């Protein structure tokens, strides 16, 4: 059973988003990293990239697949987690600490679920 | 007639019975009846003796020149015997792409060694397992440099005409702007780069260029970098035994035609597009790449890697659709480089250059022959001719010599390699003097 | 085993070159490289043994059965190699005067004529150097055709979800956006889904028939007609031509442009990943756009010329010429009857091998197949934990090259098997016995399969660390 962290929000494409003041932190859920398998590369966005909810803004690679990461919210990338460039395995080992980017100037959000709803969603997925 | 079918008629009957059909025609039941062709207008099959005779007849209609002073993108270098022997090994020849690493360590290691040698020659960090040829490698390199903000590809007018044409075609496909940078005195005009806009993806330069001249690649690298673009340098790999490497002059991507490294002329192919780049561009490099890893027992092992770049995973998002490349040609080039070694490669380069300079000196001592460009050249040069190029080349042809490549009726692009002996050159000069005097 | 660089010894050199018989030419120091490339220094004997060792650690069609689906790994005749090596072909400079290369040109023309007849096409170019290069070129013909008619709005290419990855990639290289159409339950194109995406923004359709499920699409005439009616053109991916050559022609099915893989269908060797050759054939409507140059007849000879609205060149010179010579030798050997028989026996062999496996393994789709078939190991994996990869690795210990795995993408745990016509019944029987043995092993002792292969020089290399920490050249 995939781990779900309380107090943050999830998308139906398995990204998580955590609001800290007026900044949103984005990452991949435990379910997502399990589905991906061993992540070998994170193609990070660039600072200043404008992202829109529901659209792909970067991707992650496993050995045999490339998967888009879908923006949970709309806004502008203010910070990226450079550490992932050298240690993509962090997405597998500790997905809720391994954030991908921080987004500011938030102008909107997509359809998000809280931990409880996401938990139910995962059960339905099975 | 041969068809290489390995089952007998009675076995075929047994097989049909096992399948549960009564005839082979029944296996094509899904095909709409009106599409089935009765008999195609194809010749009857031939025995091996007949087919050999037919193909030898065709081969005999070509003129084989034993002495060649023509380059222009395809070079008559000596191919050591062992290169041909190794490249003919059936395990290499008849294998597919090494998808199954456990039974493909030989081919994977050979490609890994090739990649290493290409990195050594070019000074770059990463090389792929090859592209189709030098021209398409240049086009693929341009694709590596393009992004949303950089959608203009510049190419020096001094590149091989086929390279220019190929890059132009790839740009047409990609709806990307294509610009030819003019030359002055046979060399790329660095000043012409001043006027290009900042959203340029790259500049492609050939070294030595189509006219044999050595470009000031370092200056061109500076200029294009100032414009935010990248330098793609297409080098003759033999010249790299002696002349500055692409990395030394500041190129971002090194490509080139690998044919001089042990591949026969073969009327233009198969040849070898080599490609190498800086680490920062690694994930944009197209094609197969072999990497080193370890196996379950911690032994060194080689695998196809970084596959997430490729079409079979990325599909329409892949930068290139390349799948099959020129693996056996890459292996051949690696064997060639291992035979000659570093000093041998330098010697091939030095001898080719020395012969070309000797040829140029002797030729230009004849009235009416003059170097068209004053720049430093490697093993090719353009010279005028006082008699029509066609006539001169025909005279040489009668003596079994393929002369230089005519660029116009009074200019010829000459080439020499280590294979051209002093006696060959002196013979060429004598024939040329005679042809000129006959025309006086 | 050691790398060639690890066998290198300072001071070894080989005697290839005579001493220089003209004055040495000295380049200015600033033109010369600062550091010499670290190429190996080995004796000829070292080199010969090194590559013999590497050859032993490789696997070709000549080593054993190679049923790699979609790749048509048939026997590569030796006469083809000898003919291509004749000096009358191998020693010809690509820029010799046309008068001196009439044999080369006639060979190209003859091969073009034979292949056009087999495909039902009118014209052909040999420039594309591999299948994907052919797709790229063929897609560009479609683009140029629409543009020449002032039709700039046809920006979409329809590709079935079962297609090779090269198809969408080649179309995208031409600036097209890709519209995927699903396959219906029988593995063929879903006609209703196709109709729903057709419109005046569609440039064309890319299809392989038989498709990657190994099925001949019975609705092919309807499919190509629908695309034509919408103003699009039909592209045929020739990867699977081996099933139908001499029996049905893509041109007659309604295709306008096609690429062939000479290194699959026409028996030229694949060289461990090339060189291949991917000639593109087309109907008359596209001929004016073909890459430059094409052959034409003068009064008494052949010459090259650019077609009037040529897309340009897709590589230097005329193509992978010696590969074309091998294919011509093959075509002349087989002749019309042999070509048809090759296809028929390829289909027979595939159906026979399938019938030997079908009682145990699950077929992705039931019924008669063409030259290849797809198994799905989804149930096996659920029941035993043994995946397509595990079966593939198990086959390595049987001395059989594994089939294509995890393709087509629409089949879970896919094994795609293509035996080709050049394998004997005995080989097929033995291979089937291996497949069935592994199937039983999955239930009886799965751990053995998880640990396989055991007999190969290396075992299950770590792909993850290779991709995470790329080491792409030797560290001196």
Which pLDDT tens digit goes with each residue over B314-362? 888 888 999 999 999 999 999 999 999 999 999 999 999 999 999 999 9
**Residues of chain B positioned with their CB less than 8 A from the CB of A66:** 308, 313-314, 317
Query: Could you check whether B67-77+342-439 and B81-335 share the same CATH topology?
Result: no
For residue A61, list chain C residues with Cβ-Cβ distance below 8 A: 467
End-to-end CA distance of chain B: 59
CB–CB of A66 and B307 under 8 A?
no
Structure tokens at C306: 């650019």
Closest Cβ opposite residue B313 in set A41, A43, A66: A66
Does C155 lie in the same domain as C280? yes
CB atoms under 10 Å from CB of C32, counted, come to 14
Confidence label for B252 from pLDDT (cuts 50, 70 and 90): very high
B contact set with A (CB within 8 A): 283, 307-308, 313-314, 317
Q: Are residues C295 and C323 in the same domain?
A: yes
Q: What is the mean pLDDT of residues C261-271?
A: 97
Q: For B20-41, how does the pLDDT look when each residue is reduced to its tens digit (9 = 90+)?
A: 999 999 999 999 999 999 889 9
The pLDDT tens digits of the residues spanning B414-433 come to: 999 999 999 999 999 999 99
Contact partners, residue A20, CB within 8 Å, separation at least 6:
none
Q: Please answer yes or no on whether B293 and C471 come within 8 Å at the CB atom.
A: yes
Q: Search chain A and give the residue with CA nearest C465.
A: A40
Q: Do A63 and C406 touch (CB under 8 A)?
A: no
Whether the per-residue pLDDT at B225 is higher than 90: the answer is: yes
Percent of the residues in chain C that have a pLDDT greater than 70, as a whole number:
100
Give the one of C351, C458, C460 whose C-beta lies nearest to B27's C-beta: C351
The pLDDT value recorded for residue C422 is 97
Inter-chain CB proximity C81 and B88 less than 8 Å: yes
Mean pLDDT of chain B: 96
Q: Which chain A positions have a beta carbon within 8 Å of C468's beta carbon?
A: 38, 40-41, 88-89
Let me know whether C320 and C397 are in one domain. Answer: no
Least confident of A57-66, B141-150, C85-94, C242-251: A57-66
CB contact under 8 A, B241 and C94: no
Residue C61 lies inside a defined structural domain of this protein:
no
Domain boundaries, chain B: 9-60, 67-77+342-439, 81-335
- The Cα of B305 is separated from the nearest Cα of chain A by a number of Å equal to 8
What residue in A sits closest to B306 (Cα-Cα)?
Answer: A63
- The answer to whether position C474 is within a domain reads no
Structure tokens at C113: 């004529």
Residue C39 inside a domain? The answer is no
Judged against a pLDDT cut of 90, whether residue B440 lies above it is answered with no
ipTM metric = 0.97
- Cβ separation of C458 and B174 shorter than 8 Å? no
Grade residue B308 by pLDDT with cuts at 50, 70 and 90: confident
Q: Are residues C169 and C157 in the same domain?
A: yes
Is C292 a residue whose pLDDT tops 80?
Answer: yes
Closest chain C residue to B36 measured between Cα atoms? C248
- Contact status of C332 with chain B (Cβ, < 8 Å): yes
Among C333, C348, C371, where does a domain finish?
C333
- Tell me what the mean pLDDT of segment B264-276 comes to: 98
pLDDT bucket at C428, cuts 50 / 70 / 90? very high
Torsion angles phi and psi, residue B100, rounded to 5: -100, 95
C-alpha distance from C475 to closest chain A C-alpha (Å): 20
Beta carbons of C158 and C168 less than 8 angstroms apart:
no
Mean pLDDT calculated for residue range B97-119: 97
Checking if the pLDDT of B48 tops 80, the result is yes
C207 and C300 share one domain? yes
Nearest CA in chain B to C60: B95
Domain total in chain C: 2
Q: What is the 3-state secondary structure (H, E, C) of chain C?
A: CCCHHHHCCCCCCCCCCCCCCCCCCCCCHHHECCCCCCCCCCCHHHHHHHHHHHHHCCCCCCCCCCCECCCCCCCCCHHHHHHHCCHHHHCCCCCCCHHHEHHHHHHHHHHHHHHHHHHCCCEEECCCCCHHHHHHHHHHHHHHHHHHCCCCCCCEEEEECCCCCHHHHHHHHCCCEEEEECECCCCCECHHHHHHHCCCCEEEEEECCCCCCCCCCCCHHHHHHHHHHCCCEEEEEHHHHHHCCCCCCHHHHCCCEEECCCCCCCCCCCCCCCCCCCCEEECHHHHCCCCCCEEEECCCCEEEECCCCCCCCCCCCCCCHHHHHHHHHHHHHHHHHHHHHHHHHHHHHHHHHHHHHCCCCEECCCCCCCCCEEEECHHHHHHHCCCHHHHHHHHHHCCCCCCEECCCCCCCCEEEECCCCCCCHHHHHHHHHHHHHHHHHHHHCHHHHHHCCCCCCCCCCCHHHHHHCCCCCCCC
- The CATH number linked to C351 is 3.90.1150.10
Element (H, E) at A122: helix A115-125
* Dihedral in degrees, nearest 10, Cα atoms C365, C370, C374, C379: 40
3-state secondary structure of A66: strand
**Taking a C-beta distance cutoff of 8 angstroms, is the pair C277, C130 a contact?**
yes
**Among the CATH numbers 1.20.810.10, 3.90.1560.10, 3.10.580.10, 3.40.640.10, which is that of B81-335?**
3.40.640.10
Q: How many CB pairs under 8 A join A and C?
A: 14
Is residue C73 a part of any domain in this protein?
Answer: no
Q: C37 vs B302: CB contact, 8 Å cut-off? A: no
**Closest residue in chain C to residue A41, using alpha carbons only:** C468
For residue A43, give the chain B residue with the closest CA: B283
Residue in C32, C71, C396 nearest the CB of B242:
C32
Cβ-count burial of C296 within 10 angstroms (0-12 exposed, 13-18 middle, 19+ buried)?
exposed
The domain spanning residue C197 has which CATH number?
A: 3.40.640.10
- Closest partner CB to C39 (pick from B1, B76, B341): B341
Distance of CA B115 to the CA centre of its chain: 16
Q: Do C32 and B117 touch (CB under 8 A)?
A: no
For tokens 């995470």, what's the residue? C468
- The answer for C 300-329 residues in CB contact with B (under 8 A) is 311-323, 325, 328-329
Domain boundary at C286, C314, C333, which? Answer: C333
Is the pLDDT at C6 greater than 80, yes or no? yes
Contacts 24+ apart (CB under 8 A), C176-183: C176/C139, C176/C143, C176/C203, C177/B316, C178/B315, C178/B316, C182/C410, C183/C211, C183/C213, C183/C410
- C356 chain-B contacts, CB cut-off 8 A: 18
> What pLDDT, in 10s, does the model give residues C352-396?
999 999 999 999 999 999 999 999 999 999 999 999 999 999 999
- State how far residue B193 is from chain C, nearest Cα, in angstroms: 22
- Which pLDDT band holds residue A125 (cuts at 50, 70, 90)? confident
User: Within this chain, do residues C206 and C289 fall inside the same structural domain, yes or no?
Assistant: yes
Best of C387, C405, C407, C467 to mutate (most A CBs within 10 Å, chain A): C467
C121 shares a domain with C97: yes
Phi-psi region of B66 (alpha: psi -120 to 50; beta: other; left: phi over 0): alpha
Do C312 and C445 belong together in one domain?
no
In a domain, C358, yes or no: yes
Q: Last residue of a domain, which of C308, C333, C358?
A: C333
User: Dihedral through CA C252, CA C258, CA C259, CA C264, nearest 10?
Assistant: -20
Instruction: Using a pLDDT cut of 70, give the percent of chain B over it.
Output: 100
Per CB distance under 8 Å, which residues of A are interface residues toward B? 40-41, 43, 61-66
Q: Are residues C352 and C321 in the same domain?
A: no
Asked if residue A64 has pLDDT above 90, the reply is no
Question: What would the pLDDT profile of B154-174 be if each residue is shown by its tens digit?
Answer: 999 999 999 999 999 999 999
Helix axes C44-56, B105-122, angle to 10 degrees: 130
pLDDT higher than threshold 90 for residue A72: yes
Mind telling me how many Å the CA of B226 is from chain C's nearest CA?
A: 23
Mean pLDDT rounded to a whole number for chain C: 96
Range 71-110 of A in CB contact (< 8 A) with C? 88-89
Flag if A61 and B308 touch (Cβ within 8 Å): yes
Neighbour subunits, B (≥3 Cβ pairs < 8 A):
A, C
Is residue C116 located within the same domain as residue C224? yes
Among the partner-chain residues B307, B314, B317, the one whose CB lies closest to the CB of A63 is: B307
What digits encode the pLDDT tens for the residues B164-212?
999 999 999 999 999 999 999 999 999 999 989 889 999 999 999 999 9
C69, C3, C454, C61: which is closest to B102 by C-alpha?
Answer: C454
Confidence bin at B1 (pLDDT 50/70/90): low
- Asked whether residue C103 is domain-assigned, the answer is yes
Q: Which residues of C touch B321 (CB under 8 A)?
A: 132-133, 135-136, 166, 169-170, 172-173
Query: Does residue A1 carry a pLDDT above 80?
Result: no
Going from the C-alpha of B360 to that of each of B41, B72, B370, B425, the distances in angstroms are: 54, 16, 9, 10
Question: On the CB side of C217, how many CA atoms lie within 13 Å of its CA?
Answer: 28
Say if C461 falls within a structural domain: no
Which CATH number is correct for B67-77+342-439, 3.30.565.10, 3.30.9.30, 2.60.120.560, 3.90.1150.10?
3.90.1150.10
At B292 the three-state DSSP class reads: strand
Q: Domains in chain A, start-ordered, CATH in brackets? A: 9-109 (2.40.50.100)
Task: Flag whether pLDDT at A65 surpasses 90.
Answer: no
Q: Contact at 8 Å (CB) between B230 and B278? A: no
Name the residue of chain C whose CA is nearest to B346's CA.
C36
Q: How far apart are the C-alpha atoms of C269 and C273, rounded to whole Å?
A: 9
C142 CB within 8 Å of a chain B CB: no
One domain for residues C184 and C269: yes
User: How many C-beta atoms lie closer than 10 Å to residue A11's C-beta?
Assistant: 25
Using alpha carbons, select from B171, B106, B108 the residue that is nearest to residue B138: B171
Range of the domain at C403: 336-455
Do C294 and C187 fall into the same domain? yes
């Amino acid at each position: 059973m995939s781990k779900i962290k309380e107090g943050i929000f999830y998308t139906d494409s398995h990204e998580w988003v955590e609001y800290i003041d007026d900044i949103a932190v984005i990452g991949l859920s435990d379910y997502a990293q399990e589905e991906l398998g061993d992540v070998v590369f994170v193609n990070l966005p660039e600072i200043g990239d404008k992202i829109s909810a529901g659209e792909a803004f970067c991707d992650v690679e496993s050995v045999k697949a490339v998967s888009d990461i879908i923006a949970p919210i709309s806004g502008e990338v203010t910070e990226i987690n450079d550490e992932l460039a050298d240690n993509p395995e962090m997405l597998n080992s500790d997905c809720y600490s391994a954030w991908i980017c921080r987004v500011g100037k938030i102008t909107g959000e997509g359809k998000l679920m809280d931990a409880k709803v996401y938990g139910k969603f995962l059960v339905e997925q099975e | 007639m041969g068809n290489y079918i390995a089952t007998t008629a009675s076995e075929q009957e047994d097989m049909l019975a096992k399948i549960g059909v009564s005839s082979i025609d029944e296996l094509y039941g899904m095909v709409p009846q009106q599409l089935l062709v009765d008999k195609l207008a194809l010749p009857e099959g031939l025995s091996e003796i007949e087919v050999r005779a037919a193909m030898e007849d065709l081969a005999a209609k070509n003129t084989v020149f034993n002495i060649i002073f023509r380059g222009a993108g395809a070079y008559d270098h000596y191919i050591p015997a062992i290169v041909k022997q190794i490249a003919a090994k059936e395990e290499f020849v008849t294998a597919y792409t090494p998808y199954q690493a456990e039974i493909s360590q030989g081919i994977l290691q050979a490609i890994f060694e090739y990649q290493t040698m290409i990195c050594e020659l070019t000074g770059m960090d990463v090389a792929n397992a090859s592209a189709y040829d030098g021209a398409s490698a240049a086009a693929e390199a341009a694709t590596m440099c393009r992004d949303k903000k950089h959608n203009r590809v510049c190419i020096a007018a001094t590149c091989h005409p086929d390279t220019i044409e190929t890059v132009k075609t790839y740009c047409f496909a990609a709806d990307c702007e294509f610009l030819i940078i003019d030359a002055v005195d046979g060399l790329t005009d660095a000043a012409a780069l001043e006027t290009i806009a900042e959203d340029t993806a790259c500049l492609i330069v050939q070294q030595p260029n189509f006219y044999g001249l050595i470009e000031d690649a370092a200056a061109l690298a500076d200029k294009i970098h100032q414009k935010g673009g990248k330098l793609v340098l297409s080098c003759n790999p033999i010249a790299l035994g002696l002349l500055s490497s692409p990395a030394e002059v500041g190129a971002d991507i090194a490509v080139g035609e690998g044919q001089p490294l042990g591949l026969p002329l073969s009327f233009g192919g198969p040849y070898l597009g080599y490609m190498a780049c800086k680490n920062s561009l690694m994930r944009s490099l197209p094609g197969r790449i072999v990497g080193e890893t370890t196996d379950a027992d911690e032994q060194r092992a080689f695998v196809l890697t970084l596959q997430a770049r490729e079409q079979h995973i990325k599909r329409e998002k892949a930068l290139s659709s390349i799948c099959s490349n020129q693996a056996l040609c890459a292996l051949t080039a690696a064997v060639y480089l291992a035979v000659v070694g570093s000093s041998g490669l330098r010697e091939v380069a030095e001898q080719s250059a020395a012969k070309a300079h000797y040829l140029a000196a002797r030729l230009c001592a004849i009235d009416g022959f003059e170097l068209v460009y004053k720049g430093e050249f490697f093993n090719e040069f353009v010279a005028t001719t006082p008699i029509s190029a066609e006539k001169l080349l025909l005279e040489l042809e009668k003596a079994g010599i393929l002369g230089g490549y005519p660029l116009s009726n009074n200019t010829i692009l000459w080439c020499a390699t280590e294979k051209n002996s002093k006696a060959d050159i002196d013979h060429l000069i004598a024939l040329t003097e005679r042809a000129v005097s006959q025309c006086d | 085993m050691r790398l060639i660089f690890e066998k290198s010894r300072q001071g070894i050199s080989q005697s290839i070159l005579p001493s220089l018989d003209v004055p040495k030419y000295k380049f200015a120091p600033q033109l010369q490289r600062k550091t010499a490339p670290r190429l190996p220094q080995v004796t000829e004997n070292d080199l010969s043994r090194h590559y013999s060792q590497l050859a032993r650690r490789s696997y070709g069609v000549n080593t054993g059965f190679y049923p790699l689906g979609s790749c048509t790994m048939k026997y590569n005749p030796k006469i083809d190699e000898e003919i291509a090596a004749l000096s009358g072909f191998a020693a010809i400079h690509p820029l010799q005067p046309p008068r001196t290369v009439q044999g080369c040109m006639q060979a190209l023309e003859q091969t073009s004529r034979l292949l056009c007849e087999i495909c039902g096409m009118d014209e052909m170019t040999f420039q594309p150097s591999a299948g994907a290069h052919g797709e790229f070129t063929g897609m560009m013909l479609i683009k140029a055709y629409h543009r020449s008619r002032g039709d700039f709005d046809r920006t979409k290419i329809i590709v079935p979800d079962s297609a090779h990855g090269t198809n969408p990639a080649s179309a995208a290289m031409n600036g097209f956006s890709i519209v995927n159409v699903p396959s219906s339950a029988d593995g063929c194109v879903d006609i209703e889904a196709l109709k729903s995406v057709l419109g005046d923004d569609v440039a064309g359709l890319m299809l392989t028939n038989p498709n990657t499920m190994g099925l001949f699409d019975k609705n092919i005439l309807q499919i190509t007609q629908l695309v034509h009616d919408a103003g699009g053109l039909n592209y045929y991916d020739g990867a699977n031509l081996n099933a139908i050559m001499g029996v049905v022609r893509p041109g007659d099915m309604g295709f306008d442009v096609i690429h062939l893989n000479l290194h699959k269908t026409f028996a030229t060797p694949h060289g461990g990943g090339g060189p291949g050759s991917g000639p593109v054939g087309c109907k008359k409507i596209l001929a004016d756009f073909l890459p430059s140059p094409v052959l034409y007849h003068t009064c008494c000879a052949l010459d090259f010329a650019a077609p009037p609205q040529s897309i340009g060149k897709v590589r230097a010179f005329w193509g992978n010429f010696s590969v074309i010579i091998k294919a011509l030798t093959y075509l002349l050997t087989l002749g019309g009857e042999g070509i048809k028989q090759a296809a028929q026996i390829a289909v027979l062999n595939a159906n026979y091998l399938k019938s030997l496996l079908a009682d145990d393994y699950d077929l992705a789709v039931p019924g008669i197949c063409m030259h290849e078939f797809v198994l799905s190991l989804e149930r096996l994996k659920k029941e035993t934990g043994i995946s397509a990869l595990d079966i593939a690795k198990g086959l390595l210990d049987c001395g059989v090259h594994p089939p294509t795995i995890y393709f087509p993408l629409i089949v879970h745990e896919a094994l795609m098997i293509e035996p080709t016509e050049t394998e004997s019944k005995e080989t097929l029987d033995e291979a089937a016995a291996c497949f069935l043995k592994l199937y039983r092993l999955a239930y009886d002792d799965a751990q053995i399969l998880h640990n396989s292969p055991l007999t190969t020089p290396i075992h299950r290399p770590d792909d993850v660390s290779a991709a995470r920490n790329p080491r792409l050249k030797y560290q001196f």
